[in-house]
Structure 1
Amino acid sequence: MNEDAFWQLIEDCRPTEADPEAELLAPALTERLAQSPLSLVTGFAEQLSWALYYQLDRKEYGYDLSDDAFLYTRAAVVAAGRAVFEGVLQNPAAFTPYATKLIWAESLLYTPDRAYKRITGEEWDRNTRYSHESRSNTEGWAD
C-alpha cells in the first residue's frame, strides 16, 4: 500500500460526524481491511507506523505527555486525515489542540491487528519497520 492509498482508505472510512477519538473510524477501517487481501492489511500497518510512529514522533510534539498519551494523541492526528496530518508536519503548533485537550485515538492503533485476526483467525505478532515506542525516532528527538 502506498501513502496515497493509505490516506484514501482513512478518508473513505471516516464518518461524516465529528469523531476525534476514532471510535467510528477504527471499526470502519477494520471492516474494510478484513474484506481485503492480507497484503493490504500489512501495507496499512506499515503506512500507519510510518505516519504515527516515525513522522509524528518528534520532540516538537512531545510536550509533557506520558508516552501513552503522546502515542494516542498522535493517533488522533492521523485519524483526523491527511490534511490535518500534513498541517501538523508543516506547523507543529497545529498539534497543540490535540495535546492540550488530550484527544486520543487509541483504537486506531489496533485496526490492522483486528483485521488480521478476522482474516486469519490468529493473533498477529507483527513487527513494523518503525517502533511503536514513543521517542524511538532518534532523528526527531535530536538536538
Structure 2
Amino acid sequence: MNEDAFWQLIEDCRPSEPDPDADLLAGTLTERLARSPVSLVIGFAEQLSWALYRLDRKEYGHDLGGDAFLYTRAAVVAAGRTVFDGVLEDPRAFTSYATDLIWAESLLYVPDRAYRRITGEEWDRATRYSYESCSNTEGWTGNA
C-alpha cells in the first residue's frame, strides 16, 4: 500500500458525522482491511507507523507524556491527510488534538485486529518504523 492509498482508505472510512470515540473509524478500517489480502494489512501497518513516526518530534511532544503523545499523533492521523500535512507544516496545530485522547488508541490496533480476522492468529508484527513515542531519535535531537 502506498501513501496515497493509505490516506484514501482513512478518508473513505472516516464517518461523516463527528466520531468522538473513533470507534466508527477503527471499526470500519478493520472491517475493510479484514476483507483484503494480508499484504494490504501489512501495507496499512507500515504506512500508519510511518505517519506516526513522522510526528514523533520534539516540537510536537515536548509537553506531552508517552501515551498522551502517541494518542495525539494517532488523533492527527485519524483526522486525515489534510490535517496531517497541516500539522507537519505548522507544529502549533498539533496541540489542538491533545484533548480527550484515549479514543485515538483504537487506530493503533486496526492492523492487528484485521490480521487476526483474516488468519485467526495473533500478529507479532514489526514495522520498519516504530510508532512508540521518542523512537524517532533524529526528530528529538533536531537533526532531521
Same fold per TM (> 0.5)? yes
Does the 8 A contact of 2:50 with 2:131 survive in 1? no
Post-superposition CA distance 1:24-43 (Å, at most 9, x none): 10000000000001100000
The separation in 2 between residues aligned to 1:70 and 1:80, in whole angstroms, is 16
The separation in 2 between residues aligned to 1:89 and 1:29, in whole angstroms, is 24
CA RMSD of superposed structures (Å): 1.1
Count of aligned residue pairs for this structure pair: 141
Q: 1:51 offset after TM fit, Å?
A: 0.1
5+ long unaligned stretches in structure 2: none
TM-score by length of structure 2 reads 0.94
Post-superposition CA distance 1:76-125 (Å, at most 9, x none): 000000000000000001101112x2434000000000000000000000
* Alpha carbons of structure 1 residues 20 and 84: separation in structure 2 relative to 1, 3 Å: farther
Matched, 1:125 2:121: no
Query: Residues 61-140 of structure 1 correspond to what in structure 2 (within 5 A)?
Result: 61-99=60-98, 101-104=99-102, 105-140=104-139
The separation in 1 between residues aligned to 2:83 and 2:65, in whole angstroms, is 22
Which residue is equivalent to 2:10? 10
Does the 8 A contact of 1:44 with 1:112 survive in 2? yes
Post-superposition CA distance 1:12-71 (Å, at most 9, x none): 00000112542210000000000001100000000000001x110000110322101110
The separation in 1 between residues aligned to 2:4 and 2:18, in whole angstroms, is 23
The separation in 2 between residues aligned to 1:45 and 1:58, in whole angstroms, is 20
Does the 8 A contact of 2:75 with 2:101 survive in 1? yes
Which residue is equivalent to 2:33? 33
Q: 1:139 offset after TM fit, Å?
A: 1.1
The separation in 1 between residues aligned to 2:56 and 2:19, in whole angstroms, is 23
The separation in 2 between residues aligned to 1:113 and 1:44, in whole angstroms, is 11
Which residue is equivalent to 1:51? 51
